[in-house]
Amino acid sequence: MLKINNLHASVEEKSILKGINLEVKAGEVHAIMGPNGSGKSTLASVIAGKEEYEVTAGNILLENEDIEELAAEERAHKGVFLSFQYPVEIPGVSVTNFIKTAINANRKAKGLEDMPANEMLKLIRSKSEMLEIDRKFLSRSLNQGFSGGEKKRNEIFQMAMLEPKLAILDETDSGLDIDALRIVANGVNKLKSKDNAVILITHYQRLLDYIKPDFVHVLYNGKIVKSGTAALAHELEEKGYDWIKEEVNA
């Protein structure tokens, strides 16, 4: 599904990713953990195609295709989905209108007609029920005045609607209370299948109690310095990141 080879990336001439290697296969869940400033969010943005980030070496293959030259929306059409750590507000554009526009843009890229209105309605209804989203919520302006929990739930709602191949969840657990975390995690678990893959980016192990990762990677100073199974996450929770830093710096 996703293969990252020796990826180096920088922003405003400042080098942030310094040689990432990662392979994610269909059906797998990977967690990327690490201390603040280690480059986790940068990695997510680079995969999604944010223009401020410059790839200086290495490559990213999505289903064996190098996606470096693809614009953000083209990557999205190929099934990359990023759940943002800080989703932006778009005043006056309702959640429904936004997702409708997104779905039809993706369909168009695949050469499909617009989704008929009634089918769209049905889909919105079923996905919003799954995530326990109130109907009123759907008519509100996108992310405007949303609480932290509502924003994250909205991100997962969009993911459910778009059914991506590769979902990258950037700090989706931050700012969520336990109920919201459970709902969001449930949603992600239901969307998981043998054909798609999930990358969880998180600072804490908490989310991993709800979404079981197959692999856990520790990102530090722009590199993956340790990989392991779910047990590694527990170890990090107990011992913090200092021992990793010491190991690396030793």
Partner 1 sequence: MSKYTEDDLREELKTKEYEYGFYTDIESDTFPIGLNEDIVRAISKKKDEPEWMTQWRLEAFKVWKEMKEPDWANVHYTKPDFQAIAYYSAPTSVDPNKTLDDVDPDLLAMYKKLGISVDEQKKMNNIAMDIVVDSVSVATTFKKTLAEKGIIFMPISEAIQEHPELVKKYLGTIVPTKDNFYAALNSAVFSDGSFCYIPKGVKCPMELSTYFRINQAGTGQFERTLVIADEGSYVSYLEGCTAPSRDENQLHAAVVELIALDDAEIKYSTVQNWYPGNAEGKGGVYNFVTKRGLCEKNAKISWTQVETGSAVTWKYPSCVLKGDNSVGEFYSIAVTNNFQQADTGTKMIHLGKNTKSTIISKGISAGKSQNSYRGLVQVSSRAENARNFSQCDSLLMGNECGAHTFPYIEAKNKTAQIEHEATTSKIGEDQIFYCNQRGIDTEKAIALIVNGFSKDVLNKLPMEFAVEAQKLLEISLEGSVG
Query: Per rule CB under 8 A, is residue 227 in the interface with partner 1?
Result: no
Q: In what order do the strands lie in the sheet with 14-24?
A: 14-24, 2-11, 53-62, 65-66
Query: 202 and 208 in contact (C-beta within 8 Å)?
Result: yes
127-166 mask for partner 1 (x: CB under 8 A)?
A: --------------xx---------------x---x----
Span from 33-41, 73-81, 219-227, 228-236 in contact with partner 1 (CB under 8 A): 73-81
Least separation in angstroms between residue 65's CB and partner 1 is: 17
Residue 111, interface with partner 1 (CB under 8 A)? no
Q: HSE on the CB side for 5, CA within 13 Å?
A: 9
Binding window for partner 1 (CB under 8 A); candidates: 1-9, 28-36, 85-93, 205-213: 85-93
- Closer to partner 1 at the Cβ: 84 or 220? 84
Nearer to partner 1, 167 or 211 (CB): 167
Judged by CB under 8 A, the residue of 46, 48, 176, 198 near partner 1 is: 48
Question: Which positions from 9 through 38 interact with partner 1, judged by CB under 8 A?
Answer: none
Per residue, what are the HEC states of 216-243?
EEEEECCEEEEEECHHHHHHHHHHCCHH
The span from the CA of 172 to the CA of 74, in Å, is 23
Residue number, 120 or 230, with CB nearest to partner 1: 120
Query: Which one-letter amino acid corresponds to residue 19?
Result: G
Task: Give the range of 10-18, 35-43, 83-91, 200-208 binding partner 1 by CB under 8 A.
Answer: 83-91
73 forms part of the interface with partner 1 (CB under 8 A): yes
> Is 81 or 220 the residue whose CB approaches partner 1 more closely?
81
Chain centre distance of CA 152: 11
Are 7 and 60 in contact, with CB atoms under 8 Å apart?
yes
Distance, in Å, from the CA atom of 124 to the CA atom of 106, rounded to the nearest integer, reads 16
**What single-letter DSSP state applies at residue 43?**
H
How far from the centroid of its chain's Cα atoms is residue 240's Cα? 24
Residues contacting partner 1: total by CB under 8 A: 37
Looking up tokens 């223009």 gives 51
Q: Fill in the amino acid letter for 72.
A: A
List residues binding partner 1 (CB under 8 A).
48-51, 71-73, 75-77, 80-82, 84, 87-93, 97-98, 100-102, 104-106, 108-109, 114, 117, 141-142, 158, 162
